[in-house]
Amino acid sequence: MLAIILLAFLAVSSAEDRIHNGKAVPPDDLLNVVRLVMAFKNPDRTSTCTGTIISEHHVLTAAHCLHHEPDQPYALGVLTRDKNQPGFLADHWTIHSGYTYENYEDDIGIITVQQPMKIPPVNLAANYTQVKKDWLRVAGYGKTKYEFINGSVEYMDSAENLMETYVYGYNKESEFCDKLTAQYPDVNGICMHHPNKGTLPGDSGGPSFALGKDGKYYQVAITSFGDAEPNDGIWSLDTDVSYYCPWIEETTGGKVKCQSFKPTPIEPTF
């Protein structure tokens, strides 16, 4: 089954769900950020997203990557950049019971695989609050370009490799974030924006990282939803990992626990 998913991905390498103006991640970095490929009964259809390994048997992603109407995926592959273990087949996946596609609430899901993934998991932030405008590091396998045609945005050029960039995270009291939270009052998310770079379709389910004073990166958000605006760059409202730490621990049977850390400002390298 995994071979079928790999063939489907190679044949139809396109993403339905988001990194613009980013760069390729070095081969030895972020090995725990994975590409997700969903297979459907229609052999001409595939869907790709991004996720993060959070234990030997669990991958964290967005719920909307796992829920498709009306045709639900019947198989899911987890593709890594580790040459010794390039792919895993999902045994099952769990979507948060409160998830609704219409208003983006509880956009979080966990994939379970049976074969152990011998890749160090990401650190999940237990206590993160976006207190001010500051840099966050984002990564994903999504589209890399967009343009506006007749007033509509068109996304193009799926990433062949894992891409990364830096965007601004905003505190909820900021003018930018206040508008988003007013429009989506029940979304537990972190506001992000940059005038000329950010996440695009296919990056969905991927991570946003804050830097700890210990030198480690901690995942603070899951790429959820957003858009590109003609004169305002790329914005998103992404699932707040710290808020969902109890759900993550419960869903993984206690195998995954978030970690407290002390954040320090990120200095972008490009």
Q: Could you read off the pLDDT of 149-195 as tens digits, one per residue?
A: 777 777 767 778 999 999 999 998 888 788 888 889 999 999 998 88
Q: Do domains 2-113 and 123-264 have the same CATH topology?
A: yes
The whole-number average pLDDT for the span 220-239 is 88
Tokens found for residue 98 = 């409160």
Task: Report the C-alpha gap between 223 and 247 in whole angstroms.
Answer: 18
Tell me which of 3.30.470.10, 3.40.50.2300, 2.40.10.10, 3.40.1670.10 is the CATH number of domain 2-113.
2.40.10.10
The whole-number average pLDDT for the span 265-270 is 94
CATH architecture of 123-264: Beta Barrel (2.40)
Q: Could you read off the pLDDT of 27-44 as tens digits, one per residue?
A: 999 999 999 999 988 877
Q: Is the pLDDT of residue 9 over 60?
A: no
Q: Domain residue spans in the chain?
A: 2-113, 123-264
Q: Could you read off the pLDDT of 123-137 as tens digits, one per residue?
A: 999 999 999 999 999
Residues 6+ apart with CB under 8 A from 237: 104, 180, 181, 184, 187, 189, 190, 191, 192, 224, 225, 226
Helix (H, G, I), strand (E, B) or coil at 197: coil
Q: How many CB atoms lie within 10 A of CB 184?
A: 16
Share of the chain above pLDDT 70, in %: 92
Q: Is the pLDDT of residue 56 over 70?
A: yes
What pLDDT was estimated at residue 15? 37
Q: Rounded mean pLDDT of the chain?
A: 88
Q: Is the pLDDT of residue 210 over 70?
A: yes
